[in-house]
Structures are given as C-alpha cells and as structure tokens.
Chains A and B, each alone.
Chain A
C-alpha cells in the first residue's frame, strides 16, 4: 500500500513558501537528470552545480513552510508525499529537458526572473525570506550569466543551434507569464511587505531577455497568450512522471527512514 498524501494547511504564507520551494525542487530535479549525459564534462559540472543550488533553496523554503505551518510536515514530506495536484510550481520548470537548447532557454527564462526576484526579496520584512533571498540571489546571478552565455553562443553559433534555440524559445514562451501572476493571498503578503510584487519586475525581466535574445540573433514570439495553472495544481502531463520517479522509494516503502 502506498503512503497516503499528506495534508497541507495552505495559509497564504505556507503556500507562498511552498510555491517557490516547488519551483526550485522541480527545476533542480530536471537539471539533475542531465548528470552524466551533458554535451561536455564542463556542462555536467555546471548543470549539477545549479541543480544543487536549487535543491538547497528548495530545502530551506520547505523547512520554513513546515515551521510556519506547524503540523509536523517537513522537507521530505512536502517533496515526497504530495501528489501532482498538490504541487504548486510554475509550469515552466516542469517542462522536460529536451535538447540542451531547450534546457538552457528554460533556465534562462527562469533565472532572468529569479535573479530580479531574489534581489527584491532581500528587502522582505520576513527575516527568513530575506536570508534565503540573500543566498539565492548570488546563485541565480550565476545561473543567469551561465544560461545567457549559452543562449548567445547557441543562437549565434551554427544554423542548427540557432534553429534549435529558436524552437525552444517559441515553445517555452507561453510559460513565462505565470511568473508574474499574483492571487489574492499573495496580494495580502505583498501589502504586508513580506512578498514583493512580481508584476513590478516584468519590464526589467523583458529588457534582460530581449537584450540577450537580440544579441543571440534570435527573436521572441509575437504571441502574448500565456499558460497558467501550476500555482493551483493544474499541471502539464510531464509533472506526474517526474514525481513518480522522484517519489518511488518513499511510496514503495511507506514510513521507512533513509
């Protein structure tokens, strides 16, 4: 018998921490899938490095969510004992790795946001968030630099790398809007100075992204239709497969300590 899913009291603050933790865990997991299979050994190192940064961010955020929630959950229960409908990450981060261009575009879109986001969150009135932000900001600055350099190399490299990177941009673009969305619960946290308003980051994000994409001789899609749903548990089909792998031991051997 598989262990039942945990119940989570999703107060606005718990939910807020869980959403960012899930972003970091799922993207970190995706990056870790590359380990041993990257296009060059240097990239095996870099992708694992970024995966570790994100995994570290996820653990801190889950631990904080557990503390705020105060009902005995912990980082592993959040990660291993919630089903796909309980996960709150952005649709962007759960998208499959695809080829290296797709992984880099996904990383670039996210890191360009995360870099601004964590820098702004350093001013959070919540001391834990401010501390997590101070550490994460340094990490996301590197993630942005690394992925930006690759977007330029791939876009302005060969005809093949250009085509692959443009395809990835076209396919992933619709998942970027969700990063800037805010619901009522988050609005309250923004008003209280705990969270920052992501909408305020959008023009700077677009400027960074446009600058790099132009330098890479690539183009952003004209369409402004954006997919949403990850924040309320309406995911793509990909997440369930990721979770079945991630959670397999905990689900197969209920209650065991590892």
Chain B
C-alpha cells in the first residue's frame, strides 16, 4: 500500500562522492538546470531534500488538525464548505509532497513512521491551538501567507519534482490566503465581539508566524549548502522581512494592531520588529509547545485505528490476486 518496494532501494551513488561528477552536478545547478530523480546527485543533496520535502509533507498532514478542529463548527455553510475543501487541499499537498520525496528513494511509509515516532519534524506553527473561529481566518491570512513567501522561491528549486509540486501548492495556498483574509475582513467589520476575537487571534499568532521563517541568518544550520544547491534562494531573515512588509499594511487595513510596540518603518521603508523570543521556538521544536503532544497523539491514533482497515485492504488484494491466478491456471 505504501510502496514498500522503495524500502529496499539502495542508491548505488550513496557514499560514493565522485569529485568529477560532483563538479558536473554543481555546473548543472549553476546553469539553472533541473535535477531529475534518475540523475546523479551527491548523497548530501539527496538527504537534504528528503528531509526538507518530507518535513514539508508532514507539516501539511499535521496542519490538517488545527483547522480540522473547526470544520464541524464553521459558522455558515459557505465557510464550512470552504474550510473542508481547504483542509482537503492540504491533505492533497501532503500526498504529492510524499510522492516527490519518494522519488529520492525513501518510501512514504518510512517517512510517515519518522513523523509518528517524533523523530522527524514538522512546522512548529501547528503546535499552537485554534481557540476561536478567528484563528481560522488568521491561519489563512498569516500562516498561509508566510508559507507562500517561503514556497514561491521553491517553485524554482533545483530539484524538478519538488519545484513542480510547489507550483501547484502555491496556487492553492494563495487561494487559501485570500479566503483567510476575507474571514478577517468579515470579522473586523462585524460586531465588537468579533473584532475583539480577530485582534486576540492576531495577538496569539503573530510571533509564532514570524518564527515560521526559521532562526535568524547568523545561526541557521542549513542555509549555506542549500543556497549553493539552489534549494534555498532567500535567507530566513530576507523572507521574514518580506512577509512583515506585506502584512503590516494589511493589519492596518483591517484596523488591527500588530502585537509588537516595536513595529515601525525604517528609512528604507521596511517594517522593523522587536527581538523574537527564540527560546519559545526552541521549546516548541523540543516538543514543549502547547499542542505537540495532542498533534502527535491524533496522528498516531488515526494511524493505529486505521491499521485494521489497511490490513483488510492488503488481505483482500492478496486474495483477489491468488483467485485471479487460480482462474488463469484453469
């Protein structure tokens, strides 16, 4: 069911770092060529991409939970349909990202097991709770907005399957982002209670969203090689700045206050922010965010409770195959 055949694929290029091939590879990257699954690639390139694409896939799948929390309580049928469709899109993103990761030689099953065991990471943003309907608007507006900032450059990523997956993901994400902003507009034009709900959601999500771009450039672990390989085209801080510059005027339009008194425009027109509490980020990454345990527990429960269903499907497929073989032999 989860393409187990891939588990045994043992790339013959692993560990063998052929200097000539490596420089040829880098020349292709420098010439903006796309690397495809059957092309030679350095083991570290494969490893980096497998980690990044699968983390991205896990994030889509775990990301279904905080928003799924409001599907049954969406306040109108139109909102309910839009939210259900959105969460379904995220599952679809997860599926084609796992497929993209599989082209690098690790099966979806193995990748998912890494997530369920807590070994593999997913975006820390999904370890925060969705307390009110305004959180659904805020996630669309800010979390999807930040994701787009991160992902648009990935549409030009050097690895073909990932770049192509990102083109489709980005189209859907920007639709989600507009939907989220529209929820915020409606709340901010609504009753005083609704407006307060919107402000409170912004207060809770603002800092975690800024953390989505990752640690500041001077401490980021992966950026140098990722940049050389054209997996990453902008630094964490550059993307974060771009996001803040786009978002502050939107908050003003909504009549909401950015929960950072240090938010002000500098002489270049960029919006500056107060220092980010990176201790909070580290704690959430270490498993101590408000929902880390709940999120993993929910994914494990779905996986465990689905085991008999997957086993039944396999057993049936086996029976069917042997019946067909028996028939053919008659």
Interface positions of A (Cβ within 8 A of B): 25, 29, 32-33, 35-45, 48-49, 51-52, 55-56, 58-59, 62, 75-76, 79-80, 99-101, 152-154, 156-158, 160-161, 164, 245-246, 248-250, 253, 256-258
Question: Counting CB contacts under 8 A, is B193 at the interface?
Answer: yes
Residues of B within 8 A of A245 (CB): 72-73
What is the minimal beta-carbon distance from A250 to any residue of chain B, in angstroms? 6
- Our pick among A40, A45, A249, A253 for the contact of B73 (Cβ within 8 Å) is A249
Ordered by A's residue number, 27 sampled pairs between the chains whose C-beta atoms are within 8 Å are A32-B80, A33-B71, A36-B64, A37-B298, A37-B301, A39-B305, A39-B309, A40-B309, A41-B94, A45-B92, A45-B95, A48-B91, A52-B81, A59-B77, A59-B78, A76-B76, A101-B309, A152-B316, A154-B309, A154-B312, A157-B312, A161-B308, A245-B73, A246-B72, A256-B193, A257-B190, A258-B76
Given A157-B313, A253-B191, A41:B61 Cβ within 8 A: yes
CA distance A164 to B312 in the complex (A): 11
Closest chain A residue to B1 by CB distance?
A: A40
* Contact, CB under 8 Å: A51 / B84: yes
* Contact, CB under 8 Å: A161 / B311: yes
* Contact, CB under 8 Å: A256 / B81: no
Question: Counting CB contacts under 8 A, is B118 at the interface?
Answer: no
What is the minimal beta-carbon distance from A42 to any residue of chain B, in angstroms? 8
Question: Counting CB contacts under 8 A, is B272 at the interface?
Answer: no
Residues of A within 8 A of B87 (CB): 35-36, 48
Closest chain A residue to B91 by CB distance?
A: A44
What is the minimal beta-carbon distance from A160 to any residue of chain B, in angstroms? 5
* Contact, CB under 8 Å: A153 / B73: no
Closest chain A residue to B61 by CB distance?
A: A41
CA distance A226 to B34 in the complex (A): 63
Contact with A along B189-219 (1 / 0, CB 8 A): 0110110000000000000000000000000
Question: Counting CB contacts under 8 A, is B288 at the interface?
Answer: no
What is the minimal beta-carbon distance from A137 to any residue of chain B, in angstroms? 20
**The 6 nearest A-B residue pairs measured at CB:** A39-B306, A157-B312, A161-B312, A258-B75, A39-B309, A48-B88
Residues of B within 8 A of A153 (CB): 312-313, 316
What is the minimal beta-carbon distance from B1 to any residue of chain A, in angstroms? 7
Question: Counting CB contacts under 8 A, is B160 at the interface?
Answer: no
Residues of B within 8 A of A29 (CB): 72
What is the minimal beta-carbon distance from B68 to any residue of chain A, in angstroms? 4
Residues of A within 8 A of B91 (CB): 36, 41, 44-45, 48
* Contact, CB under 8 Å: B85 / A52: yes
What is the minimal beta-carbon distance from B122 to any residue of chain A, in angstroms? 13
* Contact, CB under 8 Å: B81 / A40: no
CA distance A249 to B80 in the complex (A): 12
CA distance A18 to B311 in the complex (A): 40
* Contact, CB under 8 Å: B77 / A157: no
CA distance A249 to B83 in the complex (A): 15
- Our pick among A59, A100, A253 for the contact of B81 (Cβ within 8 Å) is A59
CA distance A200 to B307 in the complex (A): 40
* Contact, CB under 8 Å: B75 / A249: yes
Given A41-B61, A152-B316, A36:B72 Cβ within 8 A: no
* Contact, CB under 8 Å: A52 / B88: yes
Of the listed residues B81, B92, B191, B194, the one surrounded by the most CB atoms of chain A closer than 10 A to its CB is: B81
- Our pick among B84, B94, B305 for the contact of A35 (Cβ within 8 Å) is B84
* Contact, CB under 8 Å: B75 / A36: no
Given A55-B80, A246-B72, A250-B75, A99:B305 Cβ within 8 A: yes
Residues of B within 8 A of A59 (CB): 77-78, 81
What is the minimal beta-carbon distance from A45 to any residue of chain B, in angstroms? 5
CA distance A157 to B315 in the complex (A): 5
CA distance A39 to B306 in the complex (A): 4
CA distance A45 to B98 in the complex (A): 15
Closest chain B residue to A104 by CB distance?
A: B309
* Contact, CB under 8 Å: B68 / A35: yes
What is the minimal beta-carbon distance from A157 to any residue of chain B, in angstroms? 3
Given A41-B91, A160-B308, A36:B80 Cβ within 8 A: no
Given A154-B309, A161-B309, A164-B308, A258:B315 Cβ within 8 A: no
